C-alpha cells in the first residue's frame, strides 16, 4: 500500500513524467466529453421536439442507438472498428485522428453522453408549461427569441438534477478509456497492480480517488441547484 | 445478409452468456436491493447505517473499478480463506465473479429504487395487515411486495437496462460473452468494424425485447389502478 502510494502518487494524480495521466486525464476526459455532448445536445433536443418527422426522426434514431448499446461497444466500434476500414486508413486526416486512442475515446464518450443529454433536455423542453410559451408568443417573440429567452433557460434549469446524474455516470464511464490505452486513473491502477500484484491497494486507491471526485461533483451540483433552482423552493 | 464467417456458434453462445449473466446479476441485485431497502428503512441504527454506507460508496465508485477490485481481490481473499481452513483452492471463473460483482454493485442501485417504492405504499395498508394478525413475512408477500412492484417497475426497468449494458464490461475481466466472441471474429477475419457493429446490434435487439417485456409487466402490476383521464 505504502509502496504503491510512494511510487505512483504522481501518476495517480497528474503525470507519469511524460504524459498527463491519472486524475488530470480523467477530469480532462470528463470535461471535454461533457462539453462536446452538451453543445451537441442543445440543438438536437430542440430538433427532437420538432413537429417535422424529418427533424425528430434522425435524432430519435441517434439517441435510440447510443442509449441502447453499451458505451464499451461504441468505443470498440470507433476505436478498433472504424480504424480497420480501408477508407479511414487511406485518408491521411482520418487516419491521423483515429490512430490516437484518446481521440476515439473522446469521440465515443461525447457521442454517448450527447445522446443521453439530448433526451434529458428534450424531456425538460417538453415539460415547459404552455402558459409561458403562450405568454411569450402573445408578446410577439419570434421562434428564436422564444427558445433563447423563455424555453431554454427554464428547461435547462429544470434539467439540472437529472443532468448532474448524467455527469456523474459519465465520470464512471471514463474508466473505459483505459481499454483504449488512455492513461486515466484506472490505467495507472492497472499498471500498479501488474507491477506489485497488490490488487486491493492498487484498485482501492483508484476507487478512493473516484469517490472523492464523485462527492465533489455532487457537492458542486447541489450548490448549483441551490443557485439556479432557488425559485422552486417552497 | 449476415456473413458470420463460421463464427456464428461462438456469437450465439456469447449472446446466451450475456443474457444469463444479466439475468443472474439481476436476481442477485434484486435480492440485495430488497435486503438493503429493508435495512435502510429499519429502526435499527446500525442496519440503516451499514446500508447507507453501502449505497453511498458503491454509487460513488465506477462499476469497472469495483469490478476489477473485486475480481482480483475476491480470488486472493478466497485463497486466504481456503488456505486457512486447509481446503482445496476454489477458482473463481469470470462468470461467477461477474455475477457477484454486478449483483453487488447494482444491489446498491436497487436498494434506492426499492426504498422509494416501499415508502410509496400507504402505511395504513401495512397496519391493516398487521391488525389481521399477519406475520411480517406474510405482510411483505401479500401486501407490501405486490403494491411496491408497481412503483418500483420504472426504476427496475432502468436498472435492468443498465445491468444489461454493464455486462459488456465483464469481457474486460475475460468472460467469453458477445463482445469477446465478436472481437475474436473481427480479429480472425480482419473485419473489426462489421463484427463490432454486430455486437451493438445484438445489444439493441436485447434492449428492444426487454422494453417490450417491461411494458407487459407494467400493465400486469397496474391492474386495478385507476388512472386520471386528462
Question: Which residues have a Cβ under 8 Å from the Cβ of A183 and sit 6 or more positions away?
Answer: A11, A16, A19, A20, A21, A22, A25
The model's pTM: 0.84
Question: In chain B, which residue's Cα lies nearest the Cα of A207?
Answer: B61
Three-state DSSP state, A217 = helix
CA distance B75 to chain A (A): 10
Beta bridge partners of A20: A15
* B230 in a structural domain: no
Chain A contact present for B74, CB below 8 A: no
Instruction: Note down the domain range covering B150.
Output: 8-221
pLDDT digits (tens, 9 = 90+) for B176-194: 888 888 888 888 887 888 8
State the Cα–Cα distance between residues A230 and A228, nearest whole angstrom. Answer: 6
Query: CB of A22 within 8 A of CB of A184?
Result: yes
Chain A contact present for B199, CB below 8 A: yes
Mean per-residue pLDDT, B142-156 = 84
Domain boundaries, chain A: 24-185
ipTM of the complex: 0.83
Q: Is the pLDDT of residue B66 over 80?
A: yes
Supply the CATH classification number for the domain A24-185: 1.10.3720.10
Beta bridge partners of A184: A22
CA torsion sign for B51, B57, B62, B64 is negative
* B227 in a structural domain: no
Beta bridge partners of A22: A184
Three-state DSSP state, A184 = strand
CA torsion sign for B204, B209, B212, B218 is negative
Q: Is the pLDDT of residue B51 over 60?
A: yes
Phi, psi of A3 (to 5 degrees): -60, -45
Q: Is the pLDDT of residue A234 over 70?
A: no
CATH number of the domain at B147, please. 1.10.3720.10
State the Cα–Cα distance between residues A190 and B67, nearest whole angstrom. Answer: 12
The tally of domains found in chain B comes to 1
pLDDT tier for residue A189 given thresholds of 50, 70 and 90: confident
pLDDT digits (tens, 9 = 90+) for B19-36: 889 999 999 999 999 899
Q: Which of residues 122-181 of B touch A (CB under 8 A)?
A: 165-169, 171-172, 179
Nearest to A48 by CA among A38, A59, A37: A59
State the Cα–Cα distance between residues B74 and B71, nearest whole angstrom. Answer: 6
Mean per-residue pLDDT, B125-129 = 88
Residue of B63, B191, B194 lying closest to A172 (CB–CB): B63
Mean pLDDT taken over chain B: 85
Task: Please indicate whether, in this complex, the C-beta atoms of A186 and B68 are within 8 angstroms of each other.
Answer: yes
State the Cα–Cα distance between residues A73 and A48, nearest whole angstrom. Answer: 25
Determine the length of chain A: 234
* B229 in a structural domain: no
Mean per-residue pLDDT, A37-51 = 90
Cell of B15: 449472446
Task: Please indicate whether, in this complex, the C-beta atoms of A203 and B69 are within 8 angstroms of each other.
Answer: yes
Q: Is the pLDDT of residue B45 over 90?
A: no
Phi, psi of A20 (to 5 degrees): -75, 125
* B133 in a structural domain: yes
CA distance A104 to chain B (A): 14
* B226 in a structural domain: no
Nearest to B4 by CA among B178, B213, B229: B178
Amino acid at each position: 500500500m505504502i509502496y504503491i502510494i510512494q511510487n505512483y502518487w504522481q501518476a495517480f494524480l497528474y503525470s507519469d513524467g511524460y504524459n498527463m495521466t491519472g486524475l488530470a486525464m480523467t477530469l480532462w476526459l470528463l470535461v471535454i466529453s461533457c462539453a462536446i455532448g452538451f453543445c451537441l445536445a442543445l440543438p438536437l433536443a430542440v430538433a427532437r421536439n420538432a413537429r417535422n418527422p424529418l427533424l425528430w426522426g434522425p435524432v430519435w434514431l441517434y439517441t435510440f442507438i447510443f442509449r441502447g448499446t453499451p458505451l464499451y461497444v461504441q468505443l470498440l466500434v470507433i476505436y478498433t472498428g472504424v480504424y480497420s476500414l480501408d477508407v479511414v486508413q487511406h485518408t491521411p486526416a482520418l487516419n491521423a485522428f483515429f490512430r490516437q486512442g484518446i481521440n476515439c475515446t473522446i469521440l465515443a464518450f461525447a457521442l454517448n453522453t450527447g445522446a443521453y443529454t439530448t433526451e434529458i433536455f428534450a424531456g425538460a423542453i417538453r415539460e415547459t408549461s404552455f402558459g409561458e410559451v403562450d405568454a411569450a408568443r402573445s408578446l410577439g417573440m419570434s421562434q428564436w427569441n422564444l427558445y433563447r429567452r423563455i424555453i431554454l433557460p427554464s428547461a435547462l434549469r429544470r434539467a439540472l438534477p437529472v443532468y448532474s446524474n448524467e455527469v456523474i455516470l459519465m465520470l464512471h464511464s471514463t474508466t473505459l478509456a483505459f481499454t483504449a490505452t488512455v492513461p486515466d486513473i484506472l490505467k495507472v491502477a492497472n499498471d500498479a497492480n501488474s507491477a506489485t500484484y497488490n490488487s486491493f491497494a492498487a484498485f482501492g486507491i483508484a476507487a478512493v480517488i473516484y469517490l472523492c471526485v464523485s462527492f465533489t461533483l455532487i457537492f458542486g451540483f447541489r450548490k448549483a441547484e441551490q443557485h439556479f433552482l432557488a425559485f422552486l423552493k417552497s | 445478409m449476415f456473413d458470420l464467417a463460421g463464427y456464428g456458434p461462438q456469437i450465439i453462445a456469447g449472446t446466451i452468456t450475456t443474457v444469463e449473466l444479466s439475468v443472474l446479476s439481476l436476481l442477485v441485485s434484486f435480492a440485495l436491493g430488497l435486503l438493503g431497502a429493508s435495512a435502510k428503512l429499519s429502526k435499527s441504527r446500525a442496519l440503516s447505517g451499514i446500508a447507507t454506507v453501502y449505497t453511498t460508496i458503491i454509487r460513488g465508485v465506477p462499476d469497472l473499478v469495483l469490478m476489477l477490485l473485486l475480481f482480483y481481490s475476491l480470488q486472493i481473499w478466497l485463497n486466504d480463506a481456503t488456505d486457512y481452513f486447509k481446503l482445496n483452492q476454489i477458482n473463481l471463473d469470470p462468470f461467477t465473479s461477474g455475477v457477484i460483482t454486478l449483483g453487488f454493485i447494482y444491489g446498491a442501485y436497487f436498494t434506492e429504487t426499492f426504498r422509494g417504492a416501499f415508502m410509496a405504499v400507504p402505511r395504513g395498508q401495512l397496519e391493516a395487515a398487521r391488525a389481521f394478525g399477519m406475520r411480517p413475512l406474510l405482510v411483505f408477500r401479500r401486501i407490501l411486495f405486490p403494491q411496491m412492484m408497481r412503483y418500483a417497475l420504472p426504476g427496475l426497468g432502468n436498472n435492468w437496462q443498465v445491468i444489461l449494458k454493464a455486462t459488456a464490461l465483464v469481457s474486460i475481466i475475460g468472460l467469453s460473452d458477445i463482445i469477446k466472441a465478436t472481437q475474436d471474429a473481427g480479429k480472425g477475419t480482419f473485419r473489426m468494424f462489421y463484427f463490432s457493429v454486430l455486437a451493438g446490434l445484438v445489444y439493441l435487439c436485447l434492449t428492444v425485447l426487454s422494453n417490450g417485456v417491461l411494458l407487459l409487466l407494467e400493465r400486469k402490476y397496474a391492474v386495478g389502478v385507476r388512472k386520471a383521464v386528462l
